[in-house]
Structure 1
């Protein structure tokens, strides 16, 4: 007999496990089981959507679009601020549910991630009210630019930072006057459901935000191929992005794709080595499940031995364990399948000649030891492919030209981190790196008004600030002649 979705109690917090469509909870004929990566326990039976629920969600978004698009920007902004208020009121609930669901550190969720969720709504609400372009003249004619809402948007989000990355898309799409169908990742769907409750309590009209759950092959394809969808934004893997692009192509639906990375972290001999080591060890954050992570450590040969010694000492002191414990530095990876994938990368690399400096093996359950590999070839799988786990490689270089060549020698171009004490070198090298974001003597400093996205196979398009509105809107230029008006005086 099939198991039923309904309401699950996760870490003491009730979570509705049905879809949210047109302002109502909607069940499906089937379910899928959501497991906690912390201990493998069953958290909930989640409504398993199909093309039927996809069609219903898009229809609800389409029906609600005209009303929300016509809502004055100030009122849209007020509702988004109200959603942010709701996030802040339920911050502890959101934090513990997401930690239980995806294994990231509870302290990070409480102190950084969930406050950022609220900030996503506040930022785009405020940016909406400043959005504009000065009128300009062409041979006496006036040009006026408008950002018109595009229509229903499908947003497909990953499991590594579920709510933060979902609201990074939801907030600007709603601010722009669009309606939304959000499909969270099936490995971490729970906080998206809580967002539906928060949005409804904030007064967001029915159908403006719809949330459907399920597998990509069963519901995702039906969403991305739907002729009434006007925008698709996806964060995830390159293979899935190819499927989405192919699915959207017949309708010419614009897509924004934020994909994988194999980012370099370059350390020059003139760098502050303590800073460089701190930044390198930080790449193990969220058990290495961060698309922006600088997983390829490129260290100038003159300081490589000392860097490796300090790195090994600091990384070996990291505490791995239950992410709900305040003293834990690294939690589990998201799923047994992800752990097996990570371990496969490491085993193949070692078989090919790589040397393990630290780690290199599972630690029971979904825990994988923080790992550093050296003696790796530039064209090897471990250097060229995204592992998405706590696995770093270390290579050396002897000068700027070699550093830049190694840094740029993958099919990705999402981010890069550069550590140097020479400001002119920082400028020279940064200018040559192929990346959507370059950090110099810092890491993961992100401002929502900056463009975000990747080059090469790390993505298509940019979002953030006005760039988000450029994507989620149809830009219109109205050109008005100076003559031809009737005199009504």
Structure 2
């Protein structure tokens, strides 16, 4: 081991940046802390504008060759990256659980296999990406997807590697080169991804990883004139700063932002199913942008729904995310815990009632919480908490349910529980949301468009929509019978 290597649960992780196919250390570091117990994991290279410029330069230098690489070869390398991920699922799982506090069993069984799937899906989609030629007054139109150039990808801490590779995989498949900037609260698996990609044969400079604070390195990345695409997942305030930074170069943006999604429960719904869907919103300690944090329940079943929810929530086990029996782990950082508790205490002071929880358990864990007696215009109903905090309101008519559901500045997702197919069709048609689930939750397919409306985001990714973003679309129009016969 070297001074730049950490051992995390027996796994070696390099703490330096990955730029141009080699490790690069910064003169300064930042401290990475485990949310499980607040212990220090280690010191991580803290990037500045210097490392940002170097990473973009490396991506720019590598772009022509990677863009010219055949689709088949790019797909082969992405499948090799997926192979490398699958070989290291256990390493990636334990490192990410240590780093961000999400359940180890979820990482092993779902999250890390999904990371590999991200690479395989976009590798395969690349090979079938096409638009049928069409004619205009005898002229042939041919649509093509041209690689756009160096892409800056800024990713969040709640599902670090899965959400990073949801951007990295299509960007690389499209023929772009990448500068990945992971969240400073969970940087470790991005470093491991750099190792895996290099071992898979990804050429130097095609993937670069830089670590650090957004305030110190972010603007240097997003304002760089050589950057051709920026994709960001995170908060609305940060998205505004990124948009301002990118505006000078008119750099195209994809923004996946916050949510305040509703769960609508109608009286005809299967209440056991509805309660299961509701309790599922505590997943990842409530740190899920898509979570249906606002329960809207028809008045006639609200009391029974609440009773069953309280009983079901009481069966959840909160504790060390490395234990197989744990259902809810810690929140990512003491600062986030303070933010969550401040939301709850302000709501209680304003008259809300805590049916479940309503308090922190210690410096790392917040008790799963359900608040009732909340006003539609209250902060707790309107603003994203990003913790295990849910609210419950009632409605008496379908029209009222839709009005309450749409009455926030967000529009990321919505979930609907009903036994009436016609009602489901009517209501979903009126909901402002990028994704709507009916009698289910969190069923995700990479073929589908994903993104939010209103302040929940700009653009869509997934399937061909990802390539539409990461590429410059070109239409070539050819005249008929315009060729000379050279014999």
TM-score category of the 2 structures, normalised to the smaller one: over 0.9
Q: Name the SS for the 1:413 alignment partner.
A: coil
Give the equivalent residue in structure 2 for 1:395.
393
Counterpart residue number, 2:62: 64
1:17-416 aligned at under 5 Å gives the runs 17-416=15-414
Matches within 5 A, 1:402-481: 402-481=400-479
Q: In 1, Cα distance between the equivalents of 2:444 and 2:320?
A: 28
Q: Tell me: CA distance 1:219–1:5, structure 2 relative to 1, closer, same or farther (3 Å).
A: farther
> Counterpart of 2:302 in 1: which secondary structure?
helix
Shift of 1:231: 0.1
What is the SS of the residue equivalent to 1:325? coil
**Kept after mapping to 2: 8 A contact 1:5/1:18:** no
Aligned to 1:12: 10
The gaps in structure 1 that reach 5 residues or longer are none
Residue-by-residue CA offset, 1:283-341 (whole Å, 9 max, x unaligned): 00000000000000000000000000000000011000000000000000000000000
- Determine the C-alpha separation between the residues in 1 that align with 2:309 and 2:482: 73
Residue 484 of structure 1, CA deviation: 2.5
- CA positional deviation for 1:212: 0.0
Cα deviation 1:16-50 (Å, max 9, x = unaligned): 00000000000001000000000011101000000
Q: How far apart are the structure 2 equivalents of 1:359 and 1:141?
A: 67
- Shift of residue 5, structure 1, vs aligned partner: 6.3
Distance 1:229 1:116 in 2: 28
* Cα pair 1:261 1:413 within 8 Å, conserved: yes
- Stretches of structure 2 that go unaligned for 5 or more consecutive residues are none
Q: CA contact under 8 A between 1:362 and 1:369: conserved in structure 2?
A: yes
Shift of 1:277: 0.1
> Which is further off, 357-366 or 449-458?
357-366
- TM-score, length of structure 1 as denominator length: 0.99
Q: Structure 1 CA distance, aligned partners of 2:362 and 2:305? A: 30
> What secondary structure does 2:465 align onto?
helix
Equivalent residue of 1:168, what SS?
helix
Q: Secondary structure at the match of 1:363?
A: coil
Shift of 1:483: 2.8
Task: Give the distance between the partners of 2:3 and 2:465, measured in 1 at CA.
Answer: 38
1:5–1:31 contact (8 Å) kept in structure 2: no
8 Å contact from structure 1 (residues 147, 476) kept in 2: yes
Distance in 2 separating the partners of 1:59 and 1:245: 22
Q: Distance in 2 between matches of 1:134 and 1:98?
A: 43
The whole-number CA distance in structure 2 between the counterparts of 1:357 and 1:194 is 42
CA-to-aligned-CA distance 1:438-468 (integer Å, 9 cap, x gap): 0000000000000000000000000000000
Q: CA deviation at 1:365?
A: 2.6
Looking at structure 2, the residues matched to 39 and 296 of structure 1 have their Cα atoms a distance apart, in angstroms, of 30
Q: Distance in 2 between matches of 1:250 and 1:290?
A: 32
Name the SS of the counterpart of 1:486 in structure 2: coil
Number of residue pairs matched by the alignment: 486
For residues 153 and 107 of structure 2, the distance between their equivalents in structure 1, rounded to whole angstroms, comes to: 22
Distance in 2, matches of 1:366 and 1:442, equals 30
Distance 1:358 1:217 in 2: 37
- 1:388: Cα distance to partner? 0.1
How far, CA to CA, are the matches of 1:488 and 1:66 in structure 2? 33
Q: How much is the aligned-residue C-alpha RMSD, in angstroms?
A: 0.7
- In 2, the alpha carbon distance for the partners of 1:70 and 1:377 equals 57
Structure 1 position 394, deviation (Å): 0.1
Q: What stretches of structure 1 move > 2 A for 4+ residues in a row? A: none
